[in-house]
Structure 1
Amino acid sequence: MKLISRSAAGAAFLLLLHCCPIANILGQKSDSALTVVENTEGREGGGADEEAEVTVDEGDLEVVQPTEDWQTLKPGQAVPAGSHVRLNLQTGQREVRLGEEQLKYWTQEHRETEEVQSTISPDELKQAMKKMKEDLSPDTVRSQYRPLEELKRDLAQLDLLVETDVQIMKRLLDQFNSSNSTTEQKLSVLLELEYLVHQVDNAQTLCSMGGLQLIVGSLNSTDFRLQESSAFVLGSAVSSNPVVQVKAVESGALQTLLTILATAQPLGVKKKVLFAVASLLRNFPYAQHHFLSHGGLQVLSELFRADGGGVLRTRIVTMLYDMISEKELISQAGLDLMLDASHEERVRQYSKVSLQGELLEKGWCNLVPQLLESTEHDYREKALRALLAMAPMCLDHYRSDGSLLGSLLSLRDQYQEMVQSEMIVGEENGYFAEIVELINALQVKMKL
């Protein structure tokens, strides 16, 4: 064992010694060399400023493996060459960590390893693309799946059945038409049918199976729940589905719906019936003509007057607004000379719908403004839009209606304050600003 000793000239030199890497002080050493800090307490002739360093073989002493963080050294412990040792002036203990060169080497080596691991060679990329093409080839995909008929045979052996929508609807209609079915079972059937008929093909298939007649017949049930659910199914089936709309009118569904609205029924039933009527009339002038000829506006006006909450009033006004807007859009599009024959037929059909005259005759110019008395912003908005749509035929009534003029002035002041609140939070073109624009537009028309 080779012993190297030295005496420090003073505390400053000792502090400098311990704040520098040991490898730099002792010169070049092998990587396996260790530095030992001996305990000098009790040595004769030794002082506090003296210490000895011993270079030994690694297997003879307790070796402390430094890390990135400082850790305390005990007397007699050894550290690898190149470690950074310092004297903690607060605790008086010696501390060690990895030297700067070791940290730099470890960081560089770690980064290079990651770069090597993340690199993909061109050959590996070509092989991956080739395998992807093979996996997506028709033969490969086909081989991964089994034919539907084969699956059906296997499932049939397991007493399972894969049903198509057509088969499901047939089973549901058989169950609904069965004399053994309870009311709860029929309600469950109607719920499933309402989900299915949102698809255009399913709704048309329902008609071809005779299901539409069953639904219309169920509207006459003495059970309010069956009436409500049947109206819901009917409204969903005819929505944006011209084929089913025609079948529904031909089956007498419109007359049945108007009869329900004209009689005493729970609110839930009337809401679903209004939904069915609105869906049946939308973009369908043939049904609108039948609606007017069967006293539909008269039925709605009585329902409007009887509704105190405003829920039914809002639905009715929205329905009327849609009908007026549809006819107006068709009339404006009719000015285009490039339109086809089908559009000309639609213009001809809408010309038979005398909606404006019926609205004026049935007193709707005075009814719709009543919806402005509601405290709901949505109700007021729909009323303002309907009033604007009806303005060409109702201006004289608007101008002579003092309560309407007062309501518009009051609402304008109220919503102007709300607009200011919207602008404070950064909403310059918010919902309330839109309502103010509707009020202003209506006031302008009334002043002309």
Structure 2
Amino acid sequence: MKLISSSVTAALLTCITVASLLLQHCRHVTADRRSDSALTVVENAEGGGGAGGDEEEEANLNLEVIQPTEQWQTLKPGQAVPAGSHVKLNLQTGQREVRLGEEQLKYWTQDHRRGEESQSFSPDELKQAMKNIKEDLNPDSVASKYRPLEELKRDMAQLDLLVETDGQIMRRLLDQFNGSNSTTEQRLNILLELEYLVHQVDNAQTLCSMGGLQVILDGLNSSDFRLQERSAFVLGSAMASNPVVQVKAVESGALQLLLTALATTQPLRVKKKVLFAVAALLRHFPYTQRTFLSHGGLQVLSELFRADGGGVLRTRIAAMLYDMISEKELISQTGLDPVLDAAHEDRVRQYSEVSLEGELLEKGWCTLVPQLLESTEHDYREKALRALLAMAPTCLDQYRSDRSLLGSLLSLREQYQEMVQSEMILGEENSYFAEIAELIDALQVKIK
């Protein structure tokens, strides 16, 4: 056992000696090659100096710096790479390779794409472009492409003769309407164009001054329901917020024609447009309101209200009554100084002559309007509630004795309170349903 141990020990010492010699040899070879294969990183020009000082900068100036691209390139001995480059060792070839780093590659790709998108020109194309520029600068060539100034002025003058003003258009339309060869379809189209034009106050007054108002009133007397409907539409649009046209319409007998159209058998669409015209004629015009009442206007409306099953006409009538009552109430309030507004006293006197309250009681409107609450349309109910509130000073006793009205108000209040709570849960406040609920509460307070 001792002999065997000695021989093993000798062998181990021999191996250690050989390994030490090999290690020293490798260190010597590596030291010799370090100058050729060591990797040197050079800072960018903007990066500033490093820890090496002037000597390191001077050494870097003597190095060949390779410019990486997006493709891998082989690094040769003695070459340096910019900071941020990506360097790897190719295990197959044993050589180092370099390409752009991740950040460098991103900006290089963007610049490269922009360069590809930019248009390039060949030398021949550039020569042709320069040739075209010279030709464009030639005075003869410029004159051939543009027309003389005098010729342009002459053409513009001719165009001005073709431009029609609104007044000229309305005159032409009226001449075509009165022409013997015009068909019903053409007249309907003419009325539609006139309706568009008379929305402007000046155009509506101009139409009246050239006799257009009489043409429209003649259309109300037509046997064709389509012409009646379209004529009433034009008349209502012309009178809306236009006192001058309102006065001329009353003087021409428009109110009597409109009441006749409402009292006779007409299609629903005709009566809707006629009601629109009546409302436009009565709005802010106490003289016409007094004439309307004296000619049995409320009686005609009450018969129309009772005959309307759908509620469309009822809603418009209720809105019309609300407007008439509200106007008289507002003008009678002491909000205006008679010294500053000399016409205020006269308007108060005119509205005082409109005996609307007595007509409402006499014609049974205190029990007619509540019927509109039976509708399922929210808009109809809103119009009815506003009219009922306006009529409350006159109809309060009838409201208190009307069990159907009291029951409807209780039912509607519960219904709209539930709707309001549902909307509040969803984060909606000041909704349309809340407004209707407030109207119901206000009416109930008045009745109590």
If the TM-score is normalised by the length of the shorter chain, which range does it land in?
A: 0.7 to 0.9
Return the offset for 1:98: 5.8
| 1:384-399 equivalent positions in 2, closer than 5 A | 384-399=385-400
Q: Which amino acid in 2 is paired with 1:330?
A: I
Amino acid at match of 2:211: G
- Contact residue 232 and residue 276 of structure 1 kept, 8 A: yes
Aligned match of 1:155 = 159
Relative to 1, partners in 2 of residues 1:339 and 1:298: Cα closer, same or farther, differing over 3 Å?
farther
Label 1:152 to 1:375 Cα distance change in 2 as closer, same or farther (>3 A): same
Secondary structure (helix, strand or coil) at the match of 1:21 reads strand
Choose 324-333 or 94-103, whichever is displaced more: 94-103
Give the share of equivalent positions with the same residue, in percent: 70
> For residues 362 and 32 of structure 1, do their structure 2 counterparts lie closer, same or farther at Cα, with a shift above 3 Å needed?
farther
Q: Which of 38, 46, 60 is equivalent to 1:29?
A: 60
Shift of residue 427, structure 1, vs aligned partner: 2.1
Structure 1, 273-282 or 422-431: larger mean CA deviation: 422-431
Q: How far off is 1:289 after superposition?
A: 0.9
How far 1:205 moved relative to its partner?
0.7
Question: For the aligned residues, what is the CA RMSD?
Answer: 3.4
Q: Is residue 166 of structure 1 aligned with residue 170 of structure 2? A: no
With over 3 angstroms needed to count, the CA separation of the structure-2 counterparts of 1:31 and 1:357, relative to structure 1, is farther
Change (3 A) 1:94 1:102: closer
Aligned partner of 2:100 in structure 1 is 97
Please give the alpha-carbon distance, in whole angstroms, between the structure 2 residues aligned to 1:176 and 1:227: 14
Residue 265 (structure 1) shift: 1.0
User: 1:338: how far off?
Assistant: 3.7
1:96 Cα offset (Å) = 2.2
**2:430 is paired with a residue of what secondary structure?**
coil
How far did 1:431 drift? 1.2
Q: Contact conserved, 2:42 with 2:60, CA < 8 A, in 1?
A: no
Q: Can you list the C-alpha shifts for 1:7-60, whole angstroms capped at 9, x where unaligned?
A: 769xxx9xxx76x8356899643499344xxxxxxxxxxxxxxxxxxxxxxxxx
Unaligned 5+ runs, structure 1: 1-5, 36-63, 105-144
Q: Quick one: structure 1 residues 72 and 270, their matched pair in 2 at CA, closer, same or farther if it must change by over 3 Å?
A: same
TM-score of the pair, normalised by structure 2: 0.73
Q: Deviations over 1:216-259 (max 9, x none)?
A: 11111111111111011000000000010000011111111111
Q: CA deviation at 1:341?
A: 2.3
Which letter maps to 2:215? L
Q: 1:403 to 1:103 in 2, by over 3 A?
A: closer
Give the number of aligned pairs. Answer: 358
Is residue 330 of structure 2 the alignment partner of residue 299 of structure 1?
Answer: no
Please say if residues 194 and 237 of structure 1, whose CA atoms lie closer than 8 Å, have aligned partners that are also in contact: yes
Paired with 1:250 and 1:362, the residues of 2 have a C-alpha distance of 27
Q: Which has the higher helix share?
A: 2
Superposed displacement of residue 77, structure 1 = 8.0
Find the aligned partners of 2:91 and 2:319 in 1 and give their Cα distance.
Answer: 83
Instruction: State the Cα distance separating 1:422 from its structure 2 match.
Output: 1.4
Residue in 2 aligned with 1:73?
A: 72
Which residue is equivalent to 2:248? 247
The CA distance in 1 between the partners of 2:156 and 2:318, in whole Å, is 52
Deviations 1:309-365 (A, max 9, x none): 111110110011001000000001467454422111111111111111111110000
Structure 2: 5+ residue stretches without partners? 1-27, 44-49, 108-148
Q: Equivalents in 2 of 1:383, 1:318: separation in Å?
A: 8
Q: Which SS does the other structure have where 1:29 is aligned?
A: helix
CA distance 1:238–1:88, shift in 2 (3 Å)? farther
| Mapping 1:334-413, distance limit 5 Å | 336-413=337-414
CA distance in 2, matches of 1:430, 1:324: 26
| Pair 1:407–1:100, CA change in 2 (3 A) | closer
Q: Does 1:265 align with 2:266?
A: yes
The answer on whether the counterparts of 1:215 and 1:233 sit within 8 Å (CA) in structure 2 is yes
- Contact 1:282/1:322 (CA < 8 Å) preserved in 2? yes
Would you say the 8 A contact 2:42–2:80 is kept in 1?
no
Residue deviations 1:105-160, cap 9 Å, x none? xxxxxxxxxxxxxxxxxxxxxxxxxxxxxxxxxxxxxxxx99xx97763227xxx6
Which position in structure 1 is the counterpart of 2:111?
A: none
In structure 1, C-alpha distance between the alignment counterparts of 2:191 and 2:64, rounded to whole Å: 88
- Per-residue deviation, residues 381-411 of structure 1 (Å, max 9, x unmatched): 1110100000001001000000000000000
Distance of aligned partners of 1:256 and 1:101 in 2 relative to their CA distance in 1, 3 Å threshold:
closer
Deviation string, structure 1 residues 267-310 (Cα, Å, up to 9, x no partner): 11111111111011100111111111111111111111111111
* 2:399–2:405 Cα contact (<8 Å) kept: yes
Matches within 5 A, 1:171-190: 171-190=172-191
Question: What displacement does 1:425 show?
Answer: 2.0
